């Protein structure tokens, strides 16, 4: 695509994104009338950057731990599926609460955590009509790279290929999965699994800091019923906003209020606890960090600020 065509395309997309902000809020309210938007979604609608040249991050966010879809980020290194971390990666994360056991999820527990602003420079949602007109398949990767002027030999191109390949993998008997390329399709997936009477929440930190700090759990609130699935949606690194969403069964979601041990900064965090880990790979990083084996030992982790969970509300 030559420069003039690229600029015309990006300009039309940018105008569509700007005009669509109010419409996206209206769509959310029409489908989820009892559900305030979680900050992870609200910030993208209000501040998301339209796609442009170099719209993808050159590398994953340089934070000690990132849980999202199938990627665990250690600094600039990615461990796929949480498997086979190096000794150095494990050693570097002995001082941060990556995973923890459910028995430690209670008031007074001290966690070493890091909260960073992941939404300052994120890409915007495209209107569904625009998103649906853009190919999103492995066979169309060359067209996608050309359309957004991404170098085929770049890290960004590799990220696009890997994300699309992951999205094309089928779900399994315990997980319904979907890669939402628009807010509307993400809402529709959620309501198809949970109905319209749902709650939704994302992590919100009063203050962000690149350092790992000590936080104390103040209190813990269970969100979903024990026998009810939740839907988790994870923001992906792409040229426009794409969320990997999936249902999680035998998984509990919690709102956890934290306070900084040194500065008193407050955090309203989201924690998910996986009740059954028997099907996880024995080499999963969680087992190596916690020194436990696969089985019915509930394992928990915090969600970053650009992820959110939804659950069916009680009638």
The model's confidence at residue 216, banded by pLDDT at 50, 70 and 90, is very high
Cα gap 74→61, rounded to integer Å: 9
Q: Which two tokens stand for residue 56?
A: 């993808």
188 belongs to a structural domain: yes
pTM of the model: 0.86
Which of the two residues, 18 and 27, has the higher pLDDT score? 27
The pLDDT of residue 14 is 52
Rounded CA separation 256/221 (Å): 6
**Domain-embedded: residue 41:** yes
Alpha-carbon distances of 17 from 126, 147, 241, 242, 306, rounded to whole Å:
6, 17, 11, 14, 19
In a domain, 135, yes or no: no
| pLDDT over 90 (residue 188) | yes
Provide mean pLDDT across the span 246-262: 95
CA angle 67, 72, 77 (to 5 degrees): 145
pLDDT at 86 (0 to 100): 60
164 in a structural domain: no
Q: CA–CA distance from 281 to each of 82, 246, 258, 278, 293 (Å)?
A: 9, 19, 31, 8, 10
293, 282 in Cβ contact below 8 A? yes
Number of domains in the chain: 1
The pLDDT tens digits for 285-313 are: 889 889 999 987 899 999 999 999 999 99
Looking at the domain assignment, is residue 45 inside a domain? yes
Q: Residue 15's pLDDT band (boundaries 50, 70, 90)? A: very low
On whether residue 101 sits in a domain, the answer given is: yes
Per the structure, the complete domain to which residue 29 belongs is given by 3-129+173-312
Give the residue with greater pLDDT, 120 vs 247. Answer: 247
């Amino acid at each position: 695509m030559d420069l003039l065509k690229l600029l015309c395309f990006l300009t039309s997309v940018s105008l569509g994104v700007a005009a669509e902000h109010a419409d996206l809020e209206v769509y959310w309210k029409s489908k989820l009338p009892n559900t305030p938007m979680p900050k992870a979604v609200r910030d993208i609608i209000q501040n998301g950057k339209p796609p442009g040249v170099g719209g993808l991050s050159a590398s994953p966010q340089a934070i000690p731990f990132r849980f999202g879809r199938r990627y665990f980020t250690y600094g600039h290194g990615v461990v796929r599926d949480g498997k086979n971390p190096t000794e150095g990666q494990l050693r570097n994360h002995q001082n941060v609460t990556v995973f923890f056991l459910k028995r430690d999820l209670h008031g007074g527990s001290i966690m070493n955590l890091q909260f960073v602003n992941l939404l300052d420079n994120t890409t915007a949602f495209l209107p569904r009509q625009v998103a649906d007109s853009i190919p999103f398949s492995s066979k169309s990767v060359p067209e996608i790279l050309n359309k957004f002027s991404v170098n085929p030999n770049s890290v960004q191109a590799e990220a696009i290929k890997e994300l699309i390949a992951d999205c094309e993998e089928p779900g399994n008997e315990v997980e319904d999965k979907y890669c939402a390329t628009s807010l509307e399709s993400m809402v529709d997936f959620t309501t198809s699994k949970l109905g319209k009477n749902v709650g939704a929440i994302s992590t919100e930190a009063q203050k962000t800091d690149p350092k790992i700090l000590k936080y104390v759990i103040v209190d813990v609130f269970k969100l979903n019923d024990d026998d009810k699935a939740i839907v988790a949606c994870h923001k992906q690194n792409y040229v426009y906003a794409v969320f990997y969403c999936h249902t999680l069964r035998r998984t509990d979601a919690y709102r956890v209020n934290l306070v900084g041990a040194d500065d008193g900064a407050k955090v309203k965090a989201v924690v998910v606890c996986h009740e059954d880990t028997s099907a996880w790979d024995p080499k999963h990083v969680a087992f190596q960090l916690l020194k436990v084996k696969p089985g019915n030992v509930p394992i928990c982790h915090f969600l970053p600020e650009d992820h959110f969970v939804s659950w069916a509300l009680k009638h």
